[in-house]
Structure 1
Amino acid sequence: MVSDEELKQKKKSKKKEKKMKKKRKHEEITKIEKEKKNISTSTDKDDVSQVTPKSEKKRSKKDKKQKKDKSKKKDKKSKTSKQEKSPKKIEEENDANTTEELNEAKNVKAAPNDDDLKIVGGRIVSFSADVMEPEPASQEHSTTLLLFYQYIEPVLDEDGFQAILEHVQVAGEKHQVTGRMRTSYEGLNCTLTGSYDGVRGWCKDLRDYNNGAYFADTEFKLTDNLPSGQAFPTLHAFKVDELVNYGLSGIKAPSIHMSGEHLEPKDYDKKMKEKDTVIIDVRNHYEASIGRFQPPVNGAQYIDPMMRKSTEFPVWLDKPETKDMLRGKQVLMYCTGGVRCERASALLRTKMENEDDTKALGIKGVFQLQGGIDKYFRDFPEGGSWRGKNYTFDKRFSHAPPALEGMERVVKKKEKEGKEAPEKAGIEVMGKCEACHKPWDMFRGKRRCPTCGVPSLICKECYQLDKDKIKKLDRSVRCDLCVKEGIRSKHQVREKVGREMEAYETKLREIYGFQPTSKKSKPAQRMDAPRKKKSAPNPKKITKLFVKNLCAKEVDQLQLCELIPGITHIEWIMDRKTGNWYGSVFVEVATPEDASIAVGSLHKQKCHGRVLNVSYLEPDPKSIWPHPKLKI
């Protein structure tokens, strides 16, 4: 007998078999339908593939015929034109575009427009920087730069100074003007940026301040359409004792009414061509290193006072060798915007009236360039008697005569397009890289001369080598002025300046009764090894030393070699985060005896007020020491 459970299982198994059969039939049907569809689509594609190539071939043949016909027509036209025109005319037509672009670059507006006269009024010089960017975008080149200064005599009292300071700041916020304002009881010296209307509105408000009592005759110099990246981020007004720091504040300051005769750029350029004339560059030497006036051979004699700071000018003017150069001459002075010449020329004329040795020089006149180099470029867009670039203290960093900058851009554009560019178009490079001495005129980065602190003129390649740690820009890489004067440390500069200033102020006390303001510089500490040389045991004959706690402000390569005789290699240990050197070095000396003398004589000895730590250091066998790149 079959049980009920077995019957149930048989029924279930039969149902499963039926379901499986249905699924199989359904799958077979779907496969057949898919195959039919694939066959139909493939036939359609085959039909299309059989038709389209023929039509495409026909079309391509027609296109080729049309192209051939067009090329034949062009060849015929070119042949006929070449037969009709001479070779000179063909060359002229080929150069037409470049000459037009060069003429556009030379076309610079240096006179105030109607907006300037209506909005600002008074003395104003403006031009557009479109020549630097032939097709500027309105948003990308919408910055206006303003340069001006104004001395006020008699000087302001505290209330008058605070009132002007508040006015310029409130007006700056109103017109959204940014930049730097040097404010003093003796006036204003400003470099500002903003929009076209904003800067002009600010100038108008300043012109009208106190009914024009102070700024009615101020000359505003505007440059429009500069890149937006050259705008200052904020407005910073700060108080100073002098608009230009000559060290002549208060009672020492010569009256501005004693300043030299102001010559407009064209008259100044003519004066440079006269005999018995000298032209003094009142700027710092690092500024003059990339650009300066170059008078004609039979004209004025160019003089660079070789200054690091303006405070050195009064001392330089009082030197006997300077007076010999000025004897019986007309004296011309110039600077970037004119403000430095105001006090400089006034100082010379004051000395001519009050000091016997200067009276005896027989100086025939003192003149200064009205508006400075900046205004000269506007009247002489192709350069005139100028060579190189003009160093600036704004976001441009430097600039050249606008037509030359425009022509240089045209040349670069033609070179990129693979076309011939006109010769002798561009800016003459006057400076040299302080590291490799190749021609260079761009101040890049924040590096300064390690001995005197002026900006360093370093080329792009040398900066990259230093960044890649291939060739270090160490303390031996100094400005050309320090190299020329043999300055190798900061204390030498301080000692030299302090000595000269003390002698100058002694003379001021004798003639004018002024009290000294400068402090005597501290005597420089020499970096000499101790008198008694001692030797420390060196059984392993190690020649590598680790020197710690050196004075980072005073020690350079030369002094280190004087301290430790026999050095052949130096590795300056730089901080990983800041990249600065804080007084530790690895050195390799020539012999084990040199190493033992260095450890025995210098360890725990004072140098520049710091206790040195000198010890032997066994070279790591896994590393290369001494590395050839560290050789001095």
Structure 2
Amino acid sequence: MLSQPLFKDILCRDDFKSSAGGAHCFPDLRVGVFEEIVPMGIDPKKVSYKETGIHLSPQEFHKEVEQHLSQASQGQSDTILLDCRNFYESKIGHFQGCLAPDIRKFSYFPSYVDENLELFRNKRVLMYCTGGIRCERGSAYLRSKAVCREVYQLKGGIHKYLEEFPDGFYRGKLFVFDDRYAICSNEDVISACRHCAAPWDQYSLCSSQHCRQLVLACPRCRGEGLTACCALCRDKERAAAAGQAPKEECECTRRRPRVPIERVSQGTLADEKD
């Protein structure tokens, strides 16, 4: 149990976010007690949430991003705009000019930082995530490496930013972890169908019952039966139909390394399939 003063300090009115939806968006909703809401894989006692970056309001963050983009266009920025979410989240929506690590899980974030320390050396880092939760741990871990000049984080995350700046520097959809998969504040579509490359940003689950990968497949391609995330998963479906035991690991998972090479974007992510 959290002590009452600490509970009040963590759960203030500003921490609650609302969006259109309903009970049907959360068919498997459960309530539990966990040491970390989003596990980073590092003992909280070793990297304390009390050592986070400096919190910036959406208005302050907006000004910082505006300045960063202006300076970056002239090759003069000493700032890194860091997206600490997973690759499938940043793929459908991100801040312009961001650095979006190609990671599958937040628990890979520490390894990413460790492998790219020189990238952050003497830099100002503006960090953001969906609702500000991952930044609490991610910014503390980055600060613990003592390489950055300054570390800031967006208070309330992208969600709060979009409430203030629906047409600001964040383009595309905001990925959410329920049956909606994404919510939007602008009309930009920054990703594409993995099969035909048509603009598309609505995720669906791979049709293979042995896979939980998210797939960007447009209605036309899905109508043509392209509902699996990769050729191996299509083979899985055929094998399952024939009563054969399929392989557990698909191509999408197998070829994505634990510590990937970072990629920097000035508006769009690298052209890569899921």
Q: Normalization by structure 1: what TM-score?
A: 0.34
Corresponding residue SS for 2:127: strand
Alpha carbons of 1:448 and 1:378: their partners in 2 closer, same or farther (altered >3 Å)?
farther
Q: 2:117: which partner in 1?
A: 323
Percent identity at matched positions? 33
* Cα distance in 1 for residues equivalent to 2:55 and 2:209: 35
For residue 281 of structure 1, report the CA deviation from its aligned partner: 0.6
For residue 316 of structure 1, report the CA deviation from its aligned partner: 0.6
Alpha carbons of 1:389 and 1:324: their partners in 2 closer, same or farther (altered >3 Å)?
same
* Cα distance in 2 for residues equivalent to 1:447 and 1:432: 19
Equivalences for residues 54-453 of structure 1 within 5 A: 160=1, 210=4, 212-216=5-9, 218=11, 219-223=14-18, 226-228=20-22, 230=24, 232-233=26-27, 236-252=30-46, 254-272=47-65, 273-274=67-68, 275-295=77-97, 302-319=98-115, 322-352=116-146, 358=147, 363-381=148-166, 383-401=167-185, 404=186, 427-447=187-207
Contact in 2 for aligned 1:261/1:366 (Cα 8 Å):
yes
Alpha carbons of 1:294 and 1:392: their partners in 2 closer, same or farther (altered >3 Å)?
same
CA-atom RMSD in angstroms: 3.2
The letter for the 2-side match of 1:269 is H
For residue 223 of structure 1, report the CA deviation from its aligned partner: 2.3
The letter for the 1-side match of 2:224 is L
* Cα distance in 2 for residues equivalent to 1:255 and 1:249: 8
For residue 474 of structure 1, report the CA deviation from its aligned partner: 7.1
* Cα distance in 2 for residues equivalent to 1:256 and 1:222: 21
Alpha carbons of 1:369 and 1:583: their partners in 2 closer, same or farther (altered >3 Å)?
closer
The letter for the 2-side match of 1:267 is E
* Cα distance in 2 for residues equivalent to 1:387 and 1:341: 20
* Cα distance in 2 for residues equivalent to 1:368 and 1:282: 10
Alpha carbons of 1:399 and 1:235: their partners in 2 closer, same or farther (altered >3 Å)?
closer
Corresponding residue SS for 1:456: strand
Contact in 1 for aligned 2:129/2:135 (Cα 8 Å):
yes
Q: 1:575: which partner in 2?
A: 241
Alpha carbons of 1:364 and 1:583: their partners in 2 closer, same or farther (altered >3 Å)?
closer
Do residues 476 (structure 1) and 231 (structure 2) align?
yes
For residue 217 of structure 1, report the CA deviation from its aligned partner: 5.1
Contact in 2 for aligned 1:263/1:370 (Cα 8 Å):
yes
Corresponding residue SS for 2:108: helix
* Cα distance in 2 for residues equivalent to 1:384 and 1:477: 40
The letter for the 2-side match of 1:377 is L
Equivalences for residues 602-613 of structure 1 within 5 A: none
For residue 432 of structure 1, report the CA deviation from its aligned partner: 1.5
For residue 444 of structure 1, report the CA deviation from its aligned partner: 2.0
Equivalences for residues 407-556 of structure 1 within 5 A: 427-447=187-207, 454-466=213-225, 473=228, 475-476=230-231
Alpha carbons of 1:270 and 1:287: their partners in 2 closer, same or farther (altered >3 Å)?
same
* Cα distance in 2 for residues equivalent to 1:378 and 1:455: 26
Alpha carbons of 1:259 and 1:447: their partners in 2 closer, same or farther (altered >3 Å)?
farther
Residues 421-462 of structure 1: per-residue CA shift (max 9 Å, x gap): xxxxxx1111122222221100124547989x5422222222
For residue 255 of structure 1, report the CA deviation from its aligned partner: 1.0
Contact in 1 for aligned 2:131/2:160 (Cα 8 Å):
yes
Alpha carbons of 1:324 and 1:450: their partners in 2 closer, same or farther (altered >3 Å)?
farther
For residue 293 of structure 1, report the CA deviation from its aligned partner: 0.2
Corresponding residue SS for 1:279: strand
Contact in 2 for aligned 1:447/1:456 (Cα 8 Å):
no
Consecutive unaligned residues of structure 1, counting only runs of 5 or more, are 1-159, 165-208, 296-301, 353-357, 405-426, 479-551, 558-570, 585-632
Consecutive unaligned residues of structure 2, counting only runs of 5 or more, are 69-76, 248-274
The letter for the 2-side match of 1:582 is A
* Cα distance in 1 for residues equivalent to 2:161 and 2:228: 37
Q: 1 or 2, which has the higher helix percentage?
A: 1
* Cα distance in 2 for residues equivalent to 1:214 and 1:473: 44
Q: 2:71: which partner in 1?
A: none
Corresponding residue SS for 1:238: coil
Alpha carbons of 1:462 and 1:235: their partners in 2 closer, same or farther (altered >3 Å)?
closer
Contact in 2 for aligned 1:449/1:456 (Cα 8 Å):
no
* Cα distance in 1 for residues equivalent to 2:160 and 2:39: 23
* Cα distance in 2 for residues equivalent to 1:449 and 1:351: 41
The letter for the 2-side match of 1:575 is A
Q: Normalization by structure 2: what TM-score?
A: 0.74
For residue 288 of structure 1, report the CA deviation from its aligned partner: 0.5
* Cα distance in 2 for residues equivalent to 1:436 and 1:581: 30
Equivalences for residues 6-25 of structure 1 within 5 A: none
* Cα distance in 2 for residues equivalent to 1:255 and 1:392: 26
Contact in 1 for aligned 2:208/2:228 (Cα 8 Å):
no
Contact in 1 for aligned 2:206/2:227 (Cα 8 Å):
no
Corresponding residue SS for 1:439: coil
| RCO higher in structure (CA 8 A, sep ≥6) | 2
Contact in 1 for aligned 2:206/2:229 (Cα 8 Å):
no
